[in-house]
Amino acid sequence: MKTISETILKLVNLSKSYGKLKAVDNINLEVQKGELIGLVGPNGAGKTTTIKMIANILKPDKGEILIKNQKGNLQNLVKNSRHLIPQGFLIDIPSFYKMTAYDLLKYFAKLTDYPRNKIDDRIDELLKLFNLYQWKYTRVDKFSKGMNQKLGIIQAIIHDPEIIILDEPQMGLDPNARLELRRFLKLLQARGKTIFLASHLLHEISEICNKIALINLGKIIKFDTIENLGVNLRTNEVIVNILNEIKEADLPEIQNKMIQKLNPYLVKSLDPNISKQSINYYPLTKEFRIYFDGKNESKAEILKILLQEFQSDFKVTSFSQPRTAQLERIYEELIQKEPTRSQIEEGRVI
Ligand SMILES: Nc1ncnc2c1ncn2[C@@H]1O[C@H](COP(=O)(O)OP(=O)(O)OP(=O)(O)O)[C@@H](O)[C@H]1O
Ligand SMILES: [Mg+2]
């Protein structure tokens, strides 16, 4: 059967600044019904700001947030937030009050249109699912961080929303609870729910999400399926650590010499999304990263040449091929190559 894609959430040129800082910078994104999307980026990238705008807590400076309404049309959230399909949010660290878990969840459930006579059963079902049932009548200010986080997730989905938007839902959860959460999100997706998940935990995201939106400095730098992101990055790289830092003035000459000597073993067509050149030097970590053709013999030749012909230029302390997981690699190549916001703020990058 052919499935017709159906846009359920659309961000158009969405922007938000805090003073001079562009926290969210012209984001465009389209989410289809039933997708599980990961918004991935480093601290300060703009994930929470984006989610707060979708949750209508923050007003965008520019752009539109379109969400499907109950008639099936996309509706501008800022202009009219009524009659949209039900949404559930977990934003930042939930801080709850001196209520019991039961009272709190009942309060949230009553705020929504969830059928009154089904609320109690729904609360029990979810408390059991998240292993909190025995704490049903405990005041939530006595809850541990992870228990509070679980309660935050339950609160987000108590009314069985169509769109579920979670900001760092794994925060504070132990490995078992994280696994359970992943399974649960998959189950919700199988039931046709649309899920949008912000995180910097790449493993968690890669395990469950269909698509990933990579965000840095308020901009979406890639939005694609994990498979497609991976295709771009099928390459081979060796890391060569050296003993002493190379002076900036000496670098171009050394780099040219390396390109010349290592040329037969370097990758022939390097994806410019990965890197513009096949040999890069990183002064902070005192390392060269070399994109080669992937053959073991080539690796052996590269090492031999570096040791024999570059003795006067640098001393090799280690030579290795990184075994990073695919998504970490993507993250490293696409995000960390650009300075993150915290690096700029700390004055590490001008
Ligand atoms: N209320 C605010 N006032 C001023 N600046 C803010 C405010 N909220 C966020 N920012 C800034 O906007 C940028 C984006 O922040 P945001 O919280 O959206 O990032 P994030 O991707 O969620 O990061 P994290 O992974 O740390 O949660 C950051 O540089 C942050 O300092
Ligand atoms: Mg955040």
The pLDDT tens digits for 15-51 are 999 999 999 999 999 999 999 999 998 889 999 999 9
Question: Which among 166, 183, 187 has a CA at the least distance from the CA of 175?
Answer: 183
Tell me what pLDDT residue 2 has.
44
| Confidence grade of residue 100 (pLDDT, cut at 50, 70, 90) | very high
pLDDT at 331 over 50: yes
Angle between helices 145-157 and 119-129 (to 10 degrees): 140
**Per-residue tokens: 227:** 């498979």
**Per-residue tokens: 190:** 């199988």
**Per-residue tokens: 268:** 């022939």
DSSP state of 84: B
pLDDT at 326 over 70: no
pLDDT in tens, 47-80: 999 999 999 999 999 999 999 999 999 999 999 9
Among the atoms of ligand 1, which is closest to the Cα of residue 215? 21
| Confidence grade of residue 328 (pLDDT, cut at 50, 70, 90) | low
pLDDT at 280 over 50: yes
> 26 phi and psi, to 5 degrees?
60, 55
Q: What is the mean pLDDT of residues 141-146?
A: 89
The CATH number of the structural domain formed by 236-345 is: 3.30.70.260
pLDDT at 335 over 60: yes
Residue nearest to ligand 1 atom 1, measured at CA:
18
Tell me what pLDDT residue 350 has.
40
pLDDT at 339 over 90: no
Measured CA to CA, the distance from residue 340 to residue 52 in angstroms comes to: 21
Tell me what pLDDT residue 83 has.
93
Ligand 1 pocket: which of 20, 47, 171, 205 to mutate (most atoms <8 Å of CB)? 47
Question: Containing H/E element for 212?
Answer: strand 211-216
Q: Which ligand is nearest to the CA of 22?
A: 1
- Using CA atoms of 191, 192, 194, 200 in order, give the dihedral in degrees to the nearest 10: 50
Question: Which among 189, 252, 234, 217 has a CA at the least distance from the CA of 337?
Answer: 217
Pairing of the two strands 279-282 and 287-292: antiparallel
Among the atoms of ligand 1, which is closest to the Cα of residue 92? 27
pLDDT at 244 over 70: yes
Ligand 1 centroid to 18 CA: how many Å? 9
Ligand 1 pocket: which of 14, 39, 43, 48 to mutate (most atoms <8 Å of CB)? 48
Ligand 1 residue neighbourhood (C-beta within 6 Å): 18, 21, 23, 41, 43-49, 200, 341
Q: What is the mean pLDDT of residues 235-261?
A: 92
Residue-range domain boundaries for the chain:
7-231, 236-345
Among the atoms of ligand 1, which is closest to the Cα of residue 50? 18
**What are the counts of helices (DSSP H) followed by strands (DSSP E) for the chain?**
11, 14
Map tokens 């109690």 to a residue. Answer: 120
Name the pTM for this structure: 0.74
Q: How many CB atoms lie within 10 A of CB 123?
A: 21
CA angle 119, 122, 127 (to 5 degrees): 125
SS3 assignment, position 159? coil
Tell me what pLDDT residue 1 has.
46
pLDDT at 95 over 80: no
Q: What is the mean pLDDT of residues 218-245?
A: 80
Measured CA to CA, the distance from residue 170 to residue 98 in angstroms comes to: 24
The CATH number of the structural domain formed by 7-231 is: 3.40.50.300
Ligand 2 centroid to 48 CA: how many Å? 4
Q: Quote the percentage of the chain above a pLDDT of 70.
A: 86
Residues 6+ apart with CB under 8 A from 247: none
Q: What is the mean pLDDT of residues 252-269?
A: 93
The separation between the first and the last C-alpha atoms of the chain, rounded to the nearest angstrom, is 53
Measured CA to CA, the distance from residue 216 to residue 206 in angstroms comes to: 18
| Confidence grade of residue 206 (pLDDT, cut at 50, 70, 90) | confident
275 class by beta-carbon count within 10 Å (0-12 exposed, 13-18 middle, 19+ buried) = middle
CA angle 301, 303, 308 (to 5 degrees): 95
**Spatial contact of 14 and 60, defined as CB atoms under 8 Å apart:** yes
Q: How does the average pLDDT of the chain come out, rounded?
A: 88
